[in-house]
Amino acid sequence: MKKVFSGRKRFPEGFLRKAIQILYHVGIVAFSAALAMSLPFIATYLAQKFLLFWSFTWNEKKFLFSIEVVLAVSLIIFSNFVVRSLKDMKLAKMARAAGLVLVTTNKGYLARRRIRKLKAGQGFARDIMAIGSTGFRTFVDSKGELYQVIQNCREAKIMLLNPDSEGARRRASSILAPDITPEIFGEQI
């Protein structure tokens, strides 16, 4: 009897990603600890070569400890910077390939403020092309994200969902709000 693949994943989504992040941080801490443990040997070697440095660090345990901590923190900050830079380069490459040059994340107050200013500045007297499901909250509602941009643009081409399609019915049923039905969703479109 053959086993039938049920299509379910063995691990919950994101489990592997979180495990890799944990292993990454454990590796960084282990590497910085190994580096910190080797620091007294390095200090001893330097002390043999430079008597002035030796006389300063021989009984200064606080100094050695502070050097170890600064080195570990610097290594963690540098490695996080490298990993984040690689992620940003990958995202920028994907955005350029998709034609989305101004794609950014909206984490944080300053980023959201910058995005708001970009939307207002980029949409003024320009052509806009957008894809959406209904466009009601985005374009029609006066508090919507792109309401002011649409008011100030030269031409707007907006592709919305077909209200009679299966996709529209699926999208309406996926919204958890109780007042959204496929009929109301179609009216919004």
Q: Strand 127-131 and strand 155-159: pairing?
A: parallel
Amino acid 83: pLDDT: 93
* pLDDT at residue number 157: 80
Per-residue pLDDT of the chain (189 residues; tens, 9 = 90+): 455 445 455 556 677 788 888 899 899 889 988 888 888 888 777 767 776 665 666 667 777 788 888 999 999 999 999 999 998 888 777 766 665 555 556 677 777 787 777 766 665 656 777 777 777 777 777 777 777 777 777 777 877 777 788 877 787 777 777 777 778 777 776
Residue 141, pLDDT score: 77
Instruction: State the pLDDT at residue 98.
Output: 60
For 150, residues 6+ apart whose C-beta sits below 8 A from its C-beta are 123, 128, 139, 156
Helices 61-98 and 15-49: crossing angle in degrees, nearest 10, is: 140
Number of Cβ within 10 Å of residue 32's Cβ equals 19
Measured in whole angstroms, the distance separating CA 50 from the mean position of its chain's CA atoms is: 47
DSSP 11-22: S-TTHHHHHHHH
Q: So what's the pLDDT on residue 152? A: 74
pLDDT at residue number 99:
57
Supply φ then ψ for residue 159, to 5 degrees: -100, 120
- Each domain of the chain, given as residue ranges in start order, spans 15-98, 109-188
pLDDT of residue 60: 74
How much is the pTM?
0.33
pLDDT at residue 1, as a whole number: 47
